[in-house]
Amino acid sequence: MEGSMNENLLRKVQTATDVEEKVTLKDRIWIETKKMWIVAGPAIFTRFSTAGVTVISLAFIGHIGSTELAAYALVSTVLLRFANGILVGMASALETLCGQSYGANQYDMLGVYLQRSWLILFLCSVALLPVFIFTTPILIALGQDEIIAEVAGTISLWLIPVIFSYAVSYTCQMFLQAQSKNMIIAYLALLSLATHVFLSWFLIVKYNFGLSGAMISTILAFWIPNIGQLVYLFGGWCPDTWKGFSMLAFKDLWPIIKLSLSSGVMLCLELWYSTILILLTGNMKNAEVAIDALSICLNINGWEMMIALGFLAAASVRVSNELGRGSSEAAKFAIWQIVLTSSAIGFLLFLFFLFFRGRLAYIFTESIDVAAAVADLSPLLACSILLNSIQPVLSGVAVGAGWQSTVAYVNIACYYLIGIPVGVVLGYVLDLQVKGVWIGMLFGTLIQTIALMIITCKTDWEKQVSVAKQRVNNWSVDSSQQPNADEQNA
């Protein structure tokens, strides 16, 4: 009986091997492209939609008053970005764990990891509350206008539910992405965006609820996708990966906390890097024009980053799935496929922004001086976009493989020990102003990209398969509760 089972198993393995050998390179590229876009397409759309919520809020609040607009812009670009960076960074640990477990057919563990991540991010959200409760005194202490600080404090209190929405949103997204079930995320993002436009008009324009109406609409815009994702989860659409709430969620939290902290540090170091760029330009000559031009360029760069972040998600899912499945060759093939696709798109955008230069500035401003400054910065913007098409993909590879702590050290060295000091020297000492600061920051990003490329190329991917297997086995439910390999393949 046992010999018969072994013969059947060997026959299945041999058949699978023969099929793989018959697959041509063209077929492999086509199959991998479909797998990549199943994740990247909805991820890009979702990120554009999420960013659109903030843009819509700004547009409608701008009609309430200039003070309210300045206050919301301050809170959304500083406090929300700060909280968002921490929470999405910590949630990215779930990309590693869920992706590798799904690839290893440890389906039950995805739901357990999701619950553990909910606990960790909820506690992190609670820890962030003082910043939002005491926003007014903090901003006044930092030298902000008192009237704007008072309104910003009111807005921050309204945004507390948004902070907790991040804890649910990002974890559910990464849980579903690991299974390539993220079309539902895109549909819910579209519904949220449409609802936000209608409610903003209804509450602000139609019934003149002012700032309160704007904040109610904003809160609902962030929570509607969460409600939809939870209904999808609890309603039985993830039967293999969600088995209900479990006490296992409270066990073995420390390894996940460490990975979450590493992920949070890794992402925050990247997000704060561009914020420092703006701060460094505040004391330069003709600062108003410089900051306006830089803000326009960073705004364009930020929208383009939505595409790059979609490919980051695709790289994370594909690498983690293949490592969990035990296929190092498929993981490497997925990496180069995603890098080449993202780089091709980045190169086209690079040429586009080089060609149009300052003409794009008139979408945002009527100032000839600002448009001229944007034209002067456009080559740097184009180079940033080109680097953005490669660097986030490599960061996604790191997340998929579980290298968050390593990348955090790389980010510290490249961004804060190289990029910022070089930018300060070029901008202030050599008097290159904004261009000097940006060149320094670009140099840091370039060094980081090269470092990640070297790490990726030099990696022993067979060893990474073993590491992923060990991670899944160490953090999984007791093996007696899991089906064995023969049962899973039956």
Q: What is the pLDDT of residues 162-188, one digit of tens each?
A: 999 999 999 999 999 999 888 999 999
What are the tokens at 30? 């086509």
Give the tens place of pLDDT for each residue, 394-451: 999 999 998 888 888 898 899 889 988 998 899 888 888 878 888 988 999 999 999 9
* Residue 284: partners with Cβ closer than 8 Å, 6 or more residues away: 290, 427, 433, 434
Q: Where are the domains of the chain?
A: 37-251, 263-478
Q: Higher confidence at residue 229 or residue 282?
A: 229
Q: Does residue 85 contact residue 267 with C-beta atoms inside 8 Å? A: yes
> Is the pLDDT assigned to residue 84 strictly greater than 80?
yes
pLDDT in tens, 3-28: 444 444 434 434 444 444 457 888 88
Q: Which residue has the higher pLDDT, 483 or 37?
A: 37
> For position 289, what pLDDT does the model report?
66
- Note the pLDDT of residue 198: 95
269, 408 Cβ separation under 8 angstroms: yes
Containing H/E element for 34?
Answer: helix 25-62
Average pLDDT over residues 380-397: 90
Please tell me the pTM assigned to this model. Answer: 0.84
Whole-number pLDDT of residue 72: 86
**What is each CA distance from 89 to 81, 84, 93, 288, in whole angstroms?**
12, 8, 8, 32
Looking at every residue in the chain, the average pLDDT score rounds to 84
Residue 75 has pLDDT above 90, yes or no: no
Go through the chain and tell me how many residues it has. Answer: 490
CA dihedral 319, 91, 98, 467 (to 10 degrees): 60
- Which structure tokens are listed for 440? 């320094």
* Tens-digit pLDDT profile for residues 318-376: 999 999 999 999 999 999 999 999 999 999 999 998 888 767 777 766 778 778 888 88
pLDDT at 255: 78
Task: Please state, in angstroms and rounded to a whole number, the distance separating the CA atoms of residues 140 and 215.
Answer: 23
By three-state DSSP, how is residue 433 classified? Answer: helix
Which is nearest to 439 in space by CA: 463, 418, 411?
418
The per-residue pLDDT for 131 is: 92
